[in-house]
């Protein structure tokens, strides 16, 4: 395999970056309590985030990866099936972690307390289901 045949990882592939950014914009438009969000790979590399900044802050992606691994470990240990999402309630907002169906990437979104948690959960599910259909099933078909 030469350099041109190597697949691009999700966090570097233009289709993943573009579609994830589009999904974040959709989430921001539909949820009035949206504060910030990012997509990350399972191994903690950021794909896209809103609000976007000039410099990439890997802390959010790394925390998302760790939280996803922890929730999956708990679900597996208790034999209750795979996790759909995790929700952290705080004094003035919520943190939602949700896997993109069919992909090894996840959303970590921060919402204020202006709307019910169920609304953010429901809207994020719809946005991520739509995103799932827009993304290629594997990056192996994309070469550099």
DSSP the chain: --GGGSBPPGGG-HHHHHHHHHHHHHHHHH-TTEEEEEEEETTS-EEEEES--SS--HHHHHHHHHHHHHHHHHHHHTT-----EEEEEETTEEEEEEEPTTSSEEEEEEEESSS-HHHHHHHHHHHHHHHHHHS-S-GGG-B-
Residue 4 pLDDT level (bands cut at 50, 70, 90): low
Region 19-43: what's the mean pLDDT?
94
Cα(129)–Cα(80) distance, integer angstroms: 22
Could you report how far apart the first and last alpha carbons of the chain are, in Å? 12
Average pLDDT over residues 25-54: 90
Confidence of residue 83 (pLDDT cuts 50, 70, 90): confident
Please write the tens of the pLDDT for every residue from 87-138. Answer: 999 999 999 999 999 999 999 999 998 888 899 999 999 999 999 999 987 5
The pLDDT of 6-10, averaged and rounded, is 69
pLDDT tens digits, one per residue of 61-78: 888 888 888 998 999 999
- pLDDT band, residue 3 (cuts 50/70/90): very low
Average pLDDT of the chain is 85
Pick the CATH number of 3-51+79-137 from 3.40.50.300, 3.30.450.30, 3.60.15.10, 3.40.309.10: 3.30.450.30
For the ranges 25-39, 51-65, 117-131, the lowest mean pLDDT is seen at: 51-65
Residue 54 has pLDDT above 60, yes or no: no
How far is C-alpha 138 from the chain's CA centre? 16
Alpha carbon of 88 to those of 7, 46, 73, 102, 133: distances in Å?
A: 35, 20, 17, 24, 27
Domain ranges within the chain, ordered by starting residue: 3-51+79-137
């Amino acid at each position: 395999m030469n350099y041109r045949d190597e697949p691009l990882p999700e966090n570097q592939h233009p289709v993943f970056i573009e579609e994830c950014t589009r999904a974040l914009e959709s989430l921001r438009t539909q949820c009035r309590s949206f504060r910030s969000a990012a997509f990350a790979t399972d191994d903690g590399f950021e794909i896209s985030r809103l609000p976007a900044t000039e410099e990439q802050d890997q802390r959010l992606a790394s925390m998302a990866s760790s939280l996803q691994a922890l929730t999956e470990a708990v679900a597996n240990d208790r034999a209750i099936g795979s996790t759909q999402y995790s929700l952290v309630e705080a004094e003035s907002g919520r943190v939602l972690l949700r896997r993109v169906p069919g992909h090894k990437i996840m959303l970590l979104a921060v919402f204020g307390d202006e709307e019910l948690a169920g609304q953010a959960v429901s809207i994020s599910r719809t946005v991520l289901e739509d995103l799932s259909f827009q993304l290629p099933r594997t990056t192996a078909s994309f070469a550099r």
